[in-house]
Structure 1
Amino acid sequence: MAPGSSAFKEVVESHPKQMNHKTLKMKAESGTVKTSMSLAEKHSIHGVHELLQCPTCAGSMYPPIHQCPNGHTLCANCKIVHKCCPTCRFELGNIRCLALEKVAESMELPCRYQSLGCQDLFPYYDKAKHEKHCPFRPYTCPYASSECCVTGDIPFLVAHLKEDHSVDMHDGCTFNHRYVKSNPHEVENATWMLTVFNCFGRQFCLHFEAFLLGTAPAYMAFVRFMGEDSDARKFNYTLEVGAFGRKLMWQGVPRSIRDSHRKVRDSQDGLIIPRNLALYFSAGSGQELKLRVTGRIWKV
């Protein structure tokens, strides 16, 4: 059953969205000395930065930076691959370009996500490490599909989910979600659904899907937070499903969408419902699955 199938039905109860919550932003980890530079400095740094790009792979060079006897430089990875200089074809020796390494050590560069809001400068050798964790780096679309590679900030992704993936958007911090499947004996990883909830001025993704837990069919529901992990930890949520006086409940902390949908699912960090229990809660003959998942999100 494909995503967005009409077999999925929802009933949602919600509280009014709280619009006055101030969005918190992480401050970039630094080692920074200043946050702006003159136009002349920018031109100078741009020129030196070009010298620090490997002529062979165009990547940034880090120690050890190598050079051939004619002075042509190349990075350590390319040095392993090539026996001769890619520029002049002269045989490579074991010559380090210590001068360029020293120049790099003295440089400070802006983050690659400067246009997205990161205004700090970083030592050349720390820049790549910072960019891997920069809170201004784009998020990946949380839609659970390997085909979607769209990235952007949270407002952009919210609009993208609504317009391009037809994801349902709801306001409120409580929900009453109904899941209906006509043939519960067909469990595929592609059988899943996504709903976005707006509450406390933030967005949360409710995932519900059928998948194979080892070789056993199961269903799983979990919540992801559209933002950084440091902000996600400021919230808790509960999910529960039940019938006939019996209840299965999960309480947890929403995971940031920095963690992929697959990573969260495979870590089993959510409400897991074995198929035999799901069919019991459905109160039917086992020919149709009818589950009602209720939940709540709150600040801690």
Structure 2
Amino acid sequence: MLPHVQCVVGHVLCSQCRDKLASARICHVCRAPMEGGYRRSHAMEKLVESIRAPCPNAPYGCAAKPAYHDLQPHIQTCLHAPCHCPEEACGFIGSTETLLVHFTAEHGWPCTTDVRAEESFHMELREGFNVIDLDADRKLLFLVMVSPERLGRAISAVCVRPPRADGDEPVFYGLELEFDRPSRWHGDRQKSCFDVECTDLSDGLPNADDRFQFLVPHLIVLPYDDDPINIRACIYTQIR
């Protein structure tokens, strides 16, 4: 908080107005002379500091009540900020906990649970959105998208989470995908590991052309095949 000042009588100026009247030698209200200029008003600063405001993300779990002058900086980095549903024409917003329920109950998107970072797990991916609940705490969700392409099915992913707070160590996520098709000889196998972008989806899904696309060719999944894609996956985390 920037300091507040007052004249000898007690008329107060905020710091911004004080800067504009830095050379004044009389009070802007009562015209009282001020030989040394405005003086710091500790009483007003305590009063301003005592004015608290609840975070607008309180419905999503935030219990913080910062000083009013600190409210906007808090909102910009609040870890309880709601995330958005990426489905077109769906305006649902909420915490990642409620978002997971919305994904599965409202849209019926398949969800993979009991997933631990750095541990391999099995997924059955269907065309459209697929959900991963990392560590089963509903606070960190991954959306895995499967879309038809000319040469097969393209798989991409995003991490759904609120913005990182200032001062927090940046955490980066990676996703490893692998499928294989045994055959009489060597079989077919493909494996890739790629970075996953974090987003609250407030601006919708990131451009597909800016995301890594893991391609499962028609050789593995035919264009008219509605069966899920069986794939091995692993989520990696790294603090940089």
Taking structure 2 as the reference length, the TM-score comes to 0.55
Mind listing any 5+ residue stretches in structure 1 that lack a counterpart?
A: 1-30, 34-62, 64-105, 181-190
For the Cα contact (< 8 Å) 2:57–2:81, is it kept in 1? no
Is 2:223 the counterpart of 1:279?
no
Residue correspondence of structure 1 range 254-293 to structure 2 within 5 A: 255-258=198-201, 262-263=205-206, 265-268=208-211, 270-273=212-215, 278-282=217-221, 288=225, 291-293=229-231
Q: Deviations over 1:193-225 (max 9, x none)?
A: 22233426344324122166xx98761232424
Mind listing any 5+ residue stretches in structure 2 that lack a counterpart?
A: 4-16, 18-46, 182-186
Which residue does the alignment assign to 1:154?
96
Higher relative contact order (CA 8 A, sep 6+): 1
Summarize the Cα distance change of 1:295–1:231 in structure 2 as closer, same or farther, 3 Å threshold: farther
Which residue does the alignment assign to 1:145?
87
For the Cα contact (< 8 Å) 1:162–1:168, is it kept in 2? yes
Q: Which structure is higher in helix share?
A: 1
Summarize the Cα distance change of 1:265–1:111 in structure 2 as closer, same or farther, 3 Å threshold: farther
Q: Deviations over 1:61-101 (max 9, x none)?
A: xx9xxxxxxxxxxxxxxxxxxxxxxxxxxxxxxxxxxxxxx
Summarize the Cα distance change of 1:111–1:295 in structure 2 as closer, same or farther, 3 Å threshold: same
Which residue does the alignment assign to 1:237?
175
Instruction: Return the alpha-carbon distance in structure 1 between the equivalents of residues 159 and 129 of structure 2.
Output: 13
User: How many percent identity over aligned positions?
Assistant: 11
Summarize the Cα distance change of 1:137–1:257 in structure 2 as closer, same or farther, 3 Å threshold: closer
Q: Which structure is higher in strand share?
A: 2
For the Cα contact (< 8 Å) 1:179–1:289, is it kept in 2? no
1:246 corresponds to which letter in structure 2?
A: R
For the Cα contact (< 8 Å) 2:177–2:231, is it kept in 1? yes
Among residues 112, 132, 137, which one is paired with 1:196 in the alignment? 132
Which residue does the alignment assign to 1:20?
none
Which residue does the alignment assign to 1:224?
159
Among residues 207, 211, 227, which one is paired with 2:144 in the alignment? 207
Residue correspondence of structure 1 range 67-86 to structure 2 within 5 A: none
Summarize the Cα distance change of 1:271–1:233 in structure 2 as closer, same or farther, 3 Å threshold: farther
Taking structure 1 as the reference length, the TM-score comes to 0.46
Q: What RMSD, in angstroms, separates the aligned Cα atoms of the two structures? A: 4.1
Summarize the Cα distance change of 1:245–1:256 in structure 2 as closer, same or farther, 3 Å threshold: same
